[in-house]
Structure 1
Amino acid sequence: MPSDLKTFIKGRGSNSNITGRFEKTESYLDDEFAYEATYENLIQTEVRYETAKSLITSNNSPDVPFKLSINPYRGCEHGCIYCFARPSHAYIDLSPGLDFETKLTAKINAPDVFERELRNVRYQCQPIALGINTDAYQPIEKSLKITQSLLQIAYEYRQPVSLITKSALILRDLPLLEKMVSENLVHVAISITTLDNDLKRKLEPRTASGHTRLNLVKALSERRIPTTVLAAPVIPFVNDHELESIVHQSAEAGAQSAHYIMLRLPHEVAPLFTDWLHTHLPDRAEHVLNRIKDMHAGQLYDSQFGKRMTGDGLYADLIRQRFNITIKKAGLSGKRLTELDCSRFRIPPKSGDQLSLI
């Protein structure tokens, strides 16, 4: 794209459809189409439907607080430029760039598959994280209601669930969440990246504002739904100065605990974020990238467990110290929320399970 076209696409995080790492060929837009593509009305969201064969996935990562997870959608219209899940679009022959936020996939049969897997005799109940790879409450959930159906099934089976979101749409399901919390079946984590609306519009264009997310924390806490706040991601010289403010205001809103995660740039996220920096913050782009490299032994990313989410070195230590001091002053816990109750899990009877006695 010519230098005079170095502008951002309104309402989108990425400026390009970067080639996925598995592609053998690359394609480019000519200058005329590139100019046209800067107009939002030519970058429409497309929703595809997938019939999933399985739903519950497992992981053995020692630095994440869950073993099982469910993702009802592929891709995410929120468009967060830093999203660590962007590279997953390369597995389905789509770009981790614009495709990730405009070509979405809904697992339309997810509720049926979820129920089938819960009824499997080999299933052993443990908490399930819902909406980890992409936000389960992204805009298309408003009409498709897949997440809502999954929560209804979870409650019917007394299956514990933890939710993470940055969307106000979660308030739609407050009555159901209140039922679940009465039996210690749900936790919620609200991700807050920035309280600066101008930065938010550039960094995560289709998300709720930071102050709206603080209101989510308040609404959830008032209903005694255990809520933690994730100050994530922390980005050097971009939003790191907001760490204390986010933590203190989260505490005032009623959060029980808080955590932070440093910026992660796996695979295609690194060039996408680099382009974003040079587009929106050209005056400090190299300064930001150099500080990120300082935390990862000269690289933009280190996938090593124990370091990938916190980084290493002097700057990482400084952020850790600032955070620990801040949560102590704010009266928040840096520990995980109390364990959810798996002892209530049950398989409810279904029509046809037992022959009639009449």
Structure 2
Amino acid sequence: GGGQGTQIDHMSEWTSLPSDTTELDLEEVPTQDQLVQIASRFTCLRSLRLCPGEEPPGDPELDFAAEGVRFPELRELVVEWVGLKGMVFTEDNTPKLEKLNVGCIPGHVSPFRLALPHLTSFGAEHTMLAEDEDGIGQFGLSLSRCPKLEQVITYKFRCLGDINFCVLPNMKEITLHRSECTRALDILYAPKLESVSLQAAYELDGFMLRNLPQATVSTVEALLAATKDARNKAREKALEVDRHWRVKSQERTLEARERNWIEDDQEWEVQSQPDADDSDDSAQHLAWGIHDEILAEHTSSVFSKEFSRLRKEMWGALLGASVEDSALPSCTVDVTNMGGGFRKGKLEAAVRGRVIIEKTPARDVYGMDMDSDSDSGDSSDDDMSQGSSW
């Protein structure tokens, strides 16, 4: 009958369903053409589940952002064990989506982009984003572009990046349990936030909670643009330094000796051009001389310092100071098994009173507390210090 929910074990069966079907549960992965046909036929679909139960061999990656894929009434989407050509869900393909859950997506997903005006819940498990330059900051920006989002629950949702700013006007709960290769989450504004779990997010030492009521999605976009600008300028400076050292002259030799890079009886010898391929190729590195290695380390250091300086300067101009607001709800931050952990001293004074640190201490076989670190002490870490590779 019309409006029914249907579980489909074989792809050929969906063609017999009425066009007003509202729920569809597929246990076999469709092809891209079949996905287009499903979207075209079931325009009333409100719930779609693609869950084969295990990774099907040889199945193509599905592209929900491709031409012809649009689910105008879809409220809930669950995708598990399905290859995805990017994770792009916007008003163009799922304008009314409220709940999105993904799990066990093979490979490195790229691009990742959400912009959903009605999304309230996002979940992800055992899924990894691609750590490419185009993806910098996209996790935080995507959350910011879903203004009704209340809940983000993830487990082993990995590689979310070195830089993430977000504005979350309705967010109540964020869980990034075991989010490896995720190094930063800077929440500019989240007036309803009550719970953050960073449990076993070992590398997430760049967590920040601010209270900047004036911050908007445009602020996040401006911060990411500033980051890109800072990176480009830092690269240019590093390249300038690299070019300086590749000019063969007695002056360079004397300068290298003064820096104690080489012995007094040695000449400075490097390739005339840097290696265009920066991959970790052992044969190439064997071809390098020790002086090339010294120069590579030096230019990398120049880039990191310049990027950090420019970024801090640019971010500071855009962010401003947090506003104290006693009416905001308290927010529990779970730092259990977080490695370096998170300390309230990293927060601005205007925000510290809102935060409650929660930590289940690791215990030895005798039940004794193995972690003596304080969770409330000040930290000397720079709160804008995040990973930088050029």
Instruction: Tell me which structure has the larger Cα radius of gyration.
Output: 2
Q: Same fold (TM over 0.5)?
A: no
Relative to its length, the structure with more strand (as a share) is: 2
Q: Compute the TM-score of the two structures, normalised by the length of structure 1.
A: 0.29
Greater relative contact order, per chain length (Cα 8 Å cut-off, separation 6+): 1
